[in-house]
Amino acid sequence: MRTVGVEEELLLVAPETGEPRALSAAVLARAAHDGTNGDVFEKELHSQMLEFATHPQSEMAELGAEIVRCRKEAARHAGEIGCAVAALASSPLPVSGSIGVGRRYRWMAEQYGITSKAVVLGCHVHVSVESDDEGVAVIDRMQPWLPVLAALSANSPFWQGRDTRYSSYRSRVWQRWPSAGPTEVFGSAECYHRRVADMVATGVILDEAMVYFDARLSRRYPTVEIRVSDVCLHASTAVLIATLARGLVETAAREWRAGEAPWGHSVSLLRLAAWRAARSGLTEELLHPATMRRLPAETVVRALLDHVADALADTGDLDCARQACADLLRRGNGARVQRELMARTGSLRDVVTECVRHTQE
């Protein structure tokens, strides 16, 4: 059974006002001093962010329990220095990113200017693969389905104090980075690595770690890293995204071994599908991955479940995934929850403080 790990980026905020706080160094110091799970927390580009990474898990219940535990530990360490954590993919309140210390971050700030100041927070899923050849074959075949994961996870409707009319504005901001987004079919691991080397050789990006494809081979682990999702407001949604990601990887690997070719949609179409997912989330239409034509979001989510059904059945996750999708479609993703909170309270500060509570549920 393939293992799965999740990286989540959390926003540090003032508990009373919801305003972002640039205190990640202090939180990391508390975590290191505590010694309990301190190794799971990492610094990020911005000091308003705190990242944690789970251990590889083969059982989704164990992965979910670890995500909940890491969120609670993050909240405890943050609380010890007077702030809180919120699983928000963008800050509803105005914020300008405070760049962390270090040569790498200074280079990024100088090279990318205002792009480097935008605070956005994602959820990255690592799924194990047997080789780079299998990993690239998986990337080639799963690309059209990734916008559906983005729609399910969408959790960034507000930006700099305003409603953007997007469900995932984070994904639109993320596209400002020069190496971000979907990719064409590579065909082989050799072609993938040659493309990455050519990109680094341009000098536009510093190294391989700055290849921000929607799905890429991990530099550190024998995994495919799927990077399209907003950080999810609820831990249960993060588990669903991880479950579907593993199903997509296993399904794509089986297609590759069976000799089935990728659909080969152009990057232009993949970008349109990603835009549609960011705009609509689960409230309107998405582009169906096979036809690239508009259908109701619920219909496209069902198509994703059907696509990965055999793989999920083999790991015992199919029934849970179906129920989780049904619950999410009924309750709404993080973007819908945030907008409902705003409609009820009339205050973005209250939206943030309520989302602090949701983060721990």
> Which letter, b or e, does each residue of 329-353 get, where b requires 16 or more Cβ atoms within 10 Å of its Cβ?
eeebbbbbbbbebbeeeeebbebbb
**What CA–CA distance (Å, rounded) separates 299 from 277?**
13
pLDDT of residue 342: 98
- For residue 74, the domain's CATH number is 3.30.590.20
C-beta of residue 17 within 8 angstroms of C-beta of residue 23: no
**What CA–CA distance (Å, rounded) separates 73 from 281?**
30
Residue 6, CA distances (Å) to 3, 123, 188 in order: 10, 7, 26
- Which residue type sits at 225? E
To which residue do tokens 């508990």 refer?
Answer: 15
To which residue do tokens 């992965």 refer?
Answer: 63
- Any domain includes 307: yes
Indicate the angle between helix axes 60-80 and 235-257, nearest 10 degrees.
140
- Any domain includes 349: yes
**What CA–CA distance (Å, rounded) separates 98 from 154?**
24
**What CA–CA distance (Å, rounded) separates 34 from 197?**
40
Of 253, 171, 220, the C-alpha closest to 2 is 253
Q: Residue 346 — φ and ψ, nearest 5°?
A: 70, 15
pLDDT of residue 149: 98
- Any domain includes 210: yes
* Ramachandran area for residue 6 (φ above 0: left; ψ -120 to 50: alpha; else beta): beta
Domain count, the chain: 1
- Any domain includes 322: yes
- Any domain includes 359: no
pLDDT of residue 33: 85
- Any domain includes 325: yes
Of 35, 66, 65, the C-alpha closest to 53 is 66
pLDDT, averaged per 10 consecutive residues of the chain (361 residues), comes to 97 96 94 76 93 97 97 96 97 94 92 96 98 98 98 98 98 97 97 98 96 96 98 98 98 98 97 98 97 98 98 98 97 98 98 96 82
pLDDT of residue 188: 98
Q: Residue 271 — φ and ψ, nearest 5°?
A: -65, -40
CB neighbours of 124 closer than 8 A, spacing ≥ 6?
6, 7, 225, 226, 227, 229
C-beta of residue 121 within 8 angstroms of C-beta of residue 89: yes
**What CA–CA distance (Å, rounded) separates 123 from 100?**
20
- Any domain includes 211: yes
* Domain around 163: 4-354
pLDDT of residue 34: 79
Q: Residue 157 — φ and ψ, nearest 5°?
A: -80, -20
Q: Which tokens hold the place of 349?
A: 């500060």
SS3 264: coil
pLDDT of residue 28: 94
pLDDT of residue 36: 63
- Any domain includes 136: yes
